[in-house]
């Protein structure tokens, strides 16, 4: 897994919603001082555009067209859709639900995979999603698959929503998480699963820093000093 020092480094972090993968991916990118790519935000942006344009999520052709026409950009912590900052709008429960439907559309995935590969061209990157290690970057330098117990994931999601001012019952979130997992794992195209060479990290009993320490340790073992920027 060692690579030439003048190559770029790609670290993939995949896993289900609420596993702690986003926090880990952001934190790891900051520790390594490399770019972070939130690929879920891209599917969310396509979903938001469909909702706003009243496109039926069952209309595969129309949804695919929306994905191709959407200008999705990242600026610092902001996600921009056709020039507008949609960082908050893509996180509503409605957009969350819609995103998992658009993510099962092959035309949408084709467009997003292309954008993701472009985003990683010639730069070091930590990229986070469901298919980054399996489909988008099969030759990534280090791959992680982050998991956590469903109850713990529901609790974390509840806390996140509370911070945003919304109270949602735990049982409702647990059901939502399980339904979304089933859709993400059961879909024909790019289903959620660990790459064969992924390191599995269970975050249920780890602090966010503990997760990062473990990831950094694995990167250092895999890449030597290259992982210690
Ligand atoms: O990680 P997230 O919750 O923001 O992702 C939103 C949806 O997009 C989720 O249903 C899974 C899907 N997704 C995907 O299919 N592939 C990715 N690489 C990232 C997200």
Domain range spanning residue 180? 10-18+125-215
Helices 208-223 + 21-32 axis angle, to 10: 50
Q: What is the pLDDT of residue 6?
A: 54
Residue 131 alpha carbon, nearest atom of ligand 1: 18
CATH of the domain at 173: 3.40.50.300
Q: What is the pLDDT of residue 145?
A: 97
Is 131 close to ligand 1, i.e. is its CB under 6 Å away?
yes
Last residue of a domain, one of 73, 96, 123: 123
Residue 18 in 3-state DSSP? coil
pTM: 0.89
Last residue of a domain, one of 123, 157, 177: 123
**63 and 77 both lie in a single domain:** yes
Establish if 101 belongs to a structural domain: yes
Q: What is the pLDDT of residues 57-97, one digit of tens each?
A: 999 999 999 999 999 999 988 999 999 999 999 999 899 98
- The 3-state secondary structure of 144-202, one letter per residue: EEEECCHHHHHHHHHHHHHHCCCCCCHHHHHHHHHHHHHHHHHCCCCCCCCCCCCEEEE
Is 129 close to ligand 1, i.e. is its CB under 6 Å away?
yes
Listed as ranges, residues in the chain with pLDDT below 70 are 1-6, 225-229
Residue 22 alpha carbon, nearest atom of ligand 1: 1
Which residue minimizes the CA distance to atom 18 of ligand 1? Answer: 129
Last residue of a domain, one of 106, 123, 140: 123
Residue in the block written with tokens 């939130």? 38
Is 128 close to ligand 1, i.e. is its CB under 6 Å away?
no
């Amino acid at each position: 897994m060692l690579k030439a020092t003048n190559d770029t480094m790609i670290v993939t972090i995949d896993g289900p919603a609420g596993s702690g993968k986003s926090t880990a991916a952001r934190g790891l990118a900051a520790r390594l001082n490399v770019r972070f790519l939130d690929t879920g935000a891209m599917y969310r942006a396509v979903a938001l555009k469909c909702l706003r344009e009243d496109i039926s999520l069952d209309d595969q052709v129309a949804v695919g067209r929306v994905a191709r026409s959407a200008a999705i950009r990242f600026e610092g912590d902001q996600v921009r859709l056709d020039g507008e900052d949609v960082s908050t709008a893509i996180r509503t429960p409605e957009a969350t639900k819609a995103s998992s439907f658009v993510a099962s559309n092959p035309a949408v995935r084709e467009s997003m995979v292309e954008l993701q590969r472009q985003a990683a061209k010639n730069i070091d990157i930590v990229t986070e999603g469901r298919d980054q290690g399996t489909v988008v970057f099969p030759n990534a330098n280090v791959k992680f698959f982050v998991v956590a117990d469903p109850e713990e994931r529901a609790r974390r999601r509840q806390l996140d929503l509370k911070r945003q001012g919304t109270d949602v019952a735990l049982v409702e979130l647990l059901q939502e998480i399980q339904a979304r997992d089933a859709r993400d794992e059961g879909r024909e195209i790019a289903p959620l699963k660990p790459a064969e060479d992924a390191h599995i990290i269970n975050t249920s009993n780890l602090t966010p820093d503990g997760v990062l320490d473990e990831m950094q340790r694995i990167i250092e073992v895999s890449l030597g000093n290259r992982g210690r920027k």
